[in-house]
Structure 1
Amino acid sequence: MGRSLVIKVTAGADAPERCNQAFNVAATALASGVPVSLWLTGESAWFALPGKAKEFSLPHAAPLADLLDAVLAAGQVTLCTQCATRRGITADDLIEGVRIAGAPAFVEEVLREGVQALVY
């Protein structure tokens, strides 16, 4: 089995370039055949909710909603448990295909053999 990628994005609209970069790298890796797990933490937690990615705008960048759709179609998207709780987000609120999980699941993913972890 080849390498896989776990990407943790901590930024949202508060740091748009960093946020968009994380989603762009995730979608590009998937398009290249690399398995990807994208973790939404901090301010990126809001993108687990319907319509929030469509509200994000960054000039000269691929639309965040399109990048998220690509990751949902071919990879895994996880919302941090604590980040969801702090924002009052529940599993019933999420876009279909997004799961909520915490630090134990993140640690398990990044410690698997052949995994590269990136944090944005």
Structure 2
Amino acid sequence: MIKATAGEDSPERCNQAFTVAATAVASGVRVSLWLTGEASWLAVPGRAAAFTLPHAAPLDDLLAGVLAGGTVTVCTQCAARRDLTEDALVDGVRIAGAPSFVEEVTQPGVQALVY
């Protein structure tokens, strides 16, 4: 499980979360990427494509990679604070809250990384 807590406000930390998540998926690891705080915006169509960081893979490619083999979730409260609904997000991204997060993170063998 990878939790991204930063977006454009901290681009290197944000990109690190997406890079690690996409690399893990490409390596065959089951990945759940949670977007919270400012990272929530990156689930809106076009926002990941507009994100730029020198010498980093395009964030929209990383997001697509995670969606291809893992799950991406936007925090319920974070979505509500930004007036985001599932129909306003990239296809395949869901909105879920703390109960779902706790259920996932407490499964045997789960390793949580927070960026």
TM-score bracket relative to the smaller structure: over 0.9
- The aligned runs of 1:13-32 (5 Å cut-off) are 13-32=8-27
Name the count of aligned residue pairs.
115
Instruction: Extract unaligned runs of 5+ from structure 1.
Output: 1-5
SS for the counterpart of 1:115 is: coil
Rounded Cα–Cα distance in structure 2 between residues aligned with 1:19 and 1:94: 18
Partner of 2:63: 68
Q: RMSD of the alignment, in Å?
A: 0.5
C-alpha offsets along residues 3-39 of structure 1, whole Å, 9 cap, x if unaligned? xxx0000000000000000000000011111000000
Q: Which consecutive residues of structure 2, in runs of 5 or more, have no partner in the other structure?
A: none
User: What is the CA–CA distance in structure 2 between the aligned matches of 1:8 and 1:117, rounded to whole Å?
Assistant: 8
Does residue 79 of the first structure (1) align with residue 79 of the second (2)? no
TM-score for the superposition, normalised by structure 1: 0.95
Equivalent position to 2:43, from 33, 41, 48: 48
Per-residue deviation, 1:63? 0.6
| Poorly superposed stretches of 4+, deviation over 6 Å | none
Counting only pairs closer than 5 Å after superposition, residues 83-94 of structure 1 correspond to structure 2 as 83-94=78-89
Tell me the distance in 2 between the aligned counterparts of 1:102 and 1:33: 26
Identity %: 72
